[in-house]
């Protein structure tokens, strides 16, 4: 029995497409500037390197978050990337310096859900261990720093997670820190 691939479900697809991702070319070796986003038409997470796209259903590893594109809901990253079936693993550039420490409100090491809020063109940072506590969720203008990435294939919603701590500066920028970097 052949699985039918659904690729253009509707404009705002927020749940992962259960169909298998077709075979993809290998990601070129080396460190790259990478754009990460949710592909709302295909229903999979996507990276773009030099204008070419790869899709995945699970994500882990480490990378530098350089900036965000708030008008489009994109994270701009720097890393080495390897795709193994439907799992993307990123490796931080070994020559990159750790993200510098900044002053601000420290949010301790935890399981932080990062997601884009399209209606306001900004980002959410949610401490998943705090449940519905009033300080579990904050809205920020952008993310930068060293991300310890995770997104389990069983999570069918367009989320990624940072397993580390953050500092919220006076401009509502979330600075990400990886406990294994620096």
The answer to the question of residue 182 being in a domain is no
Tally the domains of the chain.
Answer: 2
Confidence of residue 6 (pLDDT cuts 50, 70, 90): very low
For residue 164 the two structure tokens come to 């580390």
pTM of this structure: 0.90
pLDDT digits (tens, 9 = 90+) for 146-157: 999 999 888 888
pLDDT at 51: 96
Whether 117 and 64 map to the same domain: the answer is: no
Longest dimension (CA), the chain: 58
Give me the domain span that covers residue 67: 31-91
- Residues 30 and 53: their CA atoms lie apart, in Å, by 16
| 12 belongs to a structural domain | no
76 with 113, same domain: the answer is no
Q: How many residues does the chain have?
A: 182
């Amino acid at each position: 029995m052949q699985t039918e691939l659904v690729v253009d479900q509707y404009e705002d697809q927020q749940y992962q497409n259960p169909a298998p991702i077709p075979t993809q070319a290998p990601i070129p070796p080396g460190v790259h500037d990478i754009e990460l986003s949710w592909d709302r038409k295909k229903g999979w997470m996507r990276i773009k390197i030099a204008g070419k796209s790869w899709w995945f259903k699970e994500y882990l590893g480490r990378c530098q978050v350089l900036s965000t594109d708030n008008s489009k809901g994109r994270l701009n990253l720097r890393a080495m990337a390897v795709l193994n079936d439907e799992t993307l693993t990123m490796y931080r550039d070994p020559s990159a310096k750790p993200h510098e420490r900044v002053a601000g409100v420290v949010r301790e090491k935890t399981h932080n859900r990062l997601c884009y809020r399209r209606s306001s063109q900004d980002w959410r940072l949610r401490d998943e261990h705090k449940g519905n506590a009033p300080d579990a969720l904050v809205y920020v203008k952008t993310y930068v720093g060293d991300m310890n990435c995770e997104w389990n294939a069983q999570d069918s919603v367009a989320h990624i997670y940072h397993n580390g701590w953050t500092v919220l500066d006076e401009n509502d920028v979330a600075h990400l820190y990886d406990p294994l970097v620096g």
